[in-house]
Amino acid sequence: MYKFNFRPLSLVLLLLLIGQSSCAELSTSSVGGQFLPSLAPMLEKATPAVVNISSNTKTRVSDNPLFNDPFFRHFFNIPKQKQEEKQSRGSGVIIDARKGYVVTNHHVIEKADKISITLLDGRQFDADLIGLDPETDIALLKVPADRLTALPLADSEHLRVGDFVVAIGNPFGLGQTVTSGIISALGRSGLGIEGYEDFIQTDASINPGNSGGALVNLRGELIGINTAIIAPGGGNVGIGFAIPSNMVNKIVQHLIDFGEVQRGTLGIRIQDLTPDLANAFGLNGKKGALIAEVEPGTPAEKAGLRSSDLIIAVNNKQVSSATELRNHIGLLRIGERVKITFIRKGRIRHLYATIADNNQVEGGDISLYLDGALLKDTSNGIQVYKVTQNSNAWKVGFRHGDMIIGINRSKIRNLDDLTQRFKKYTSRSIQIRREGEILSLRLN
């Protein structure tokens, strides 16, 4: 189980387990001549789609780190080191019974040497990894298509706050457990859990042991993959998060086709429309993603987008923030033509742009974000040893003593490495180590 500290709350990534299949309505049963509502018929049809996932990771055990160096062992004729096997448990959901596809969280099977699943009926299979996407915490597995039951996917665009939901999991290794609640909020983002966030928030009890499981509606349809909780005291407090089924479906299609998500770019830097900016641009009462910069040679420039344009819709789907726009673009395929609706000088306009490969577009200069910070390379990363208050670096979130260790979850060695990798992306997050904790700073 992973723990993320997000000021002022502690976000804990879980290990879940669930299942449900086919459509079923809320049923009633007769008790003492009275009819009482029951979810049992729906759950009886749904739970066979729930799988328990066990992943095993082998690590070398040695008191001396030099013994882990193959060249050192070869030179001194040191035998191969003993290995320690680490096992973690989570959950998954069968989404295609005919092809044997199982979806789970990336962090459930991360770095696993062997992945096994156990069905509700006790059968066990070794699973093959089809692909994974750390940015959304989704992984796709494949097992033999032998008498499987799958969960149908609901359209998460139609969810409403207050809808009843059910979560099924394996909290604390107790075995399959069902909890219920409602949708508490939609479109939660900015939590610092994943690179792309558009979470369903629910008060259905979710605890460590549930990651990768399902959140379902009362018809037994999959509406989300349970991923995280806010746990200030380490236990459930009724604030859990699930990845919406529509996002899961799009990621899964990428993984089936390519084994990874091949994200493209428009080539713009964006920001939320604050009240001050809305007033300055005459956009009071409007919502959207404000373009701060259009990078040269990008699809955005070629299509005709300009700095200070306010993007309000993508492919006719409303956009109310920079995060929403980033999520929409991040799920599109390279080469896909996209309709952009925006406001310029008070008028609503439309244009079309073609999503380009991130690696074929220069992503700009990171110096803008580091302005006001003094840095130096160390053996452990890039140390921030001074930050001017209210500078660009300060506003991004850098503080004295931070150690910059990665970008978009890829390890960086020095400042030159960071600069070069920064240019490859238009959506970036910088990983830093602060007082022993790993934090992520989002850069648009």
d(CA 421, CA 381) in angstroms, rounded, equals 14
Cross-strand bridge partners of residue 269: 293
Residues 83, 59: contact at Cβ < 8 Å? Answer: yes
Q: Provide, for the chain, the percentages of residues in helix, strand and coil under a 3-state DSSP scheme, each rounded to the nearest 5.
A: 20, 40, 40
Identified catalytic residue from 133, 137, 203, 309: 137
Identified catalytic residue from 88, 91, 107, 309: 107
Identified catalytic residue from 54, 184, 211, 429: 211
Contacts of 46 (CB under 8 A, 6+ apart): 19, 20, 21, 22, 24, 151, 168, 216, 220
Residue type, 367: S
DSSP strands (E only) in 97-247: 101-105, 114-119, 124-126, 128-133, 138-142, 164-169, 177-188, 199-202, 214-216, 222-230, 240-244
Cross-strand bridge partners of residue 185: 201
Residues 198, 324: contact at Cβ < 8 Å? Answer: yes
91 in catalytic set: no
400 in catalytic set: no
**Tokens 């033999």 map to which residue?**
144
211 in catalytic set: yes
Cross-strand bridge partners of residue 125: 117
The residues annotated with a catalytic role in the active site are 107, 137, 211
